[in-house]
Structure 1
Amino acid sequence: MTYRSALDRLVPMRNGRLFTIVGGVFGLVGLVLLCVGIAVAASTASFLASADRADGTVVALTARTNTTRSSSGHVRTSTHWYPTVRFTVDGRSYSFQSSTGNNPPAYEEGDGVPVAYDPDDPSDARIASFWSAFLAPLIVGGLSMVFTPIGAVLFVRGRRIQRLRARLWSQGRQVWAKIERVGRDLGTEVNGRHPYVVHASWQDERTGRTYTATSDNLRNDPGPRLRGRTHVRVLYDPADPDRNLVDLDALPSPADGS
């Protein structure tokens, strides 16, 4: 199932507020990352433009290992090697460790590398190759290109769902649908738990077609709340009954059934 079709499937049955909030957070993070990437790239370009050049030599490689644990408990380790470079200015030796690491190592001990350094403070230096200088802002900028579009899609989708729900509340056609199942939605996980949902169905008198409505995700079991009831109110769009919402709070009148 594609990302878009999954979202479309959620339209009639989920509250768009979560999409809007998550989309806004993703979009904000994306914009912040974009600004950081631009600022770092501009700072690097400015440094390189005013820096002097020297020939350096890789004198050591330092391994740094990071360990991460996924939500499923899987542990993953990754190791990157950071080169230490030595160069000479006016007969004085300087060295620095690159802030960019690679796996596999981009250099070996003894490799010659171009060095850019601040003429007023030669200890402020970095490898002058494009990838070493601009890898960090490229990574940050790339992350922003991931977060921002996803955030925009989620935010727009959330706003559409909220408008649809508002329209259904005010203009939707009412039907009392038969409760088919009350239980956990095993296909969804929120904070490590499967939420409860209520499934109800009704038959469209115009077409004879049977439609199913699913409630919003519920933290607590709605069984006790629905005890003794066989129907719940559903508000749907007559032009597209698959667009619907379940109102668990409405109580049927004797004429509507129980």
Structure 2
Amino acid sequence: MKRNSVSLVFNIFLVIGIVMLTVSLIFFYNVKKFNASAVKTNGTVVDLIAKRGSKSTTYSPVVTYNDEAGVKHRYVSNVSSSPAGYDIGDQVEIYYNPNDPDNAQIAGWRQYFAVFITGVFALIFGLIGLGYHIVRKVGHSRKERLKQSGQLVQAGFIAVDINSVVSVNRRHPFFIRCEWKDPLTGITHPFKSGFIWSDPTPYIDRDKKIDVYVDRNTFKKYYVDISSFER
């Protein structure tokens, strides 16, 4: 998997997040618009409709209410929950369209259920997509800073490993391990490269040193130059 392919995956996540956020805002606007022109009245929960799923049973309240002309109407909530959010006999507030009294909604959180669900998905997908680009930008800035002001050392190749924790499209990234022995102190410093999304093993000359830029104040901050191993 090439870096461009990885970026494409996270760009798709970001686009999905933006789309879901737009949908959430549209739902929110529609609720506010409906409430602004609707008539508010009291209704009574007269029944609970069971909706049996594969793992649980949820319940939708059935509410009756009278419009301004005294005509009784029946409303079945399209939001169900487990346990039931209401008991039979509960009094609830109802918004209904004065031009179409059968078009009603229970006042409260149920009106915003779709807003909440799409908003959560927008947050999840958006943070994943945006987070990738933020991390990449921060990493790029850090890399450039180390290349400009860090100490260049020549590290010896140790191995190519796979990060089994991170996965994109069911594929795990590779990384290179290398090390450098400080001739002044005799201390050997291990280094790990950033992620490589295709196996770099065929492109590695095991006898060739790998450039590593190290922060002059601490060996904990470094950048392993893997540009020649990325395909």
Could you say which residue in structure 2 is the equivalent of 1:122?
Answer: 101
Relative to 1, partners in 2 of residues 1:80 and 1:44: Cα closer, same or farther, differing over 3 Å? same
Q: Distance in 2 between matches of 1:78 and 1:162?
A: 48
- Is 1:47 aligned to 2:26, yes or no? no
Relative to 1, partners in 2 of residues 1:137 and 1:224: Cα closer, same or farther, differing over 3 Å? closer
Mapping of 1:75-86 within 5 angstroms?
77=55, 79-86=57-64
Instruction: Provide structure 1 residue ranges, at least 5 long, that are not aligned to the other structure.
Output: 1-14, 68-76, 251-258
* Residues 84-93 or 24-33, more deviating: 24-33
**Correspondence for 2:160 among 182, 193, 204:** 182
* Residues 32-41 or 185-194, more deviating: 32-41
Could you say which residue in structure 1 is the equivalent of 2:45?
Answer: 57
Could you say which residue in structure 1 is the equivalent of 2:190?
Answer: 212
Q: Distance in 1 between matches of 2:79 and 2:34?
A: 16
| CA displacement at 1:122 relative to structure 2 | 0.8
CA contact (8 A) 1:213 1:246 kept: no
Instruction: Provide structure 2 residue ranges, at least 5 long, that are not aligned to the other structure.
Output: none
CA contact (8 A) 1:180 1:201 kept: yes
With normalisation by structure 2, the TM-score equals 0.72
Could you say which residue in structure 2 is the equivalent of 1:106?
Answer: 85
Q: What's the RMSD between the two structures over aligned residues?
A: 3.7
| CA displacement at 1:29 relative to structure 2 | 5.4
| CA displacement at 1:119 relative to structure 2 | 0.8
| CA displacement at 1:139 relative to structure 2 | 4.7
Relative to 1, partners in 2 of residues 1:243 and 1:58: Cα closer, same or farther, differing over 3 Å? farther
CA contact (8 A) 2:156 2:178 kept: yes
Could you say which residue in structure 2 is the equivalent of 1:232?
Answer: 210
| CA displacement at 1:125 relative to structure 2 | 0.5
| CA displacement at 1:20 relative to structure 2 | 11
CA contact (8 A) 1:185 1:196 kept: yes
Q: What secondary structure, in the 3-state scheme, does the structure 2 residue paired with 1:193 have?
A: coil
Q: Distance in 1 between matches of 2:34 and 2:125?
A: 29
* Residues 95-104 or 215-224, more deviating: 215-224
With normalisation by structure 1, the TM-score equals 0.66
Q: Distance in 2 between matches of 1:197 and 1:34?
A: 35
User: Among the aligned pairs, what percent are the same residue?
Assistant: 26
Aligned residues: 223
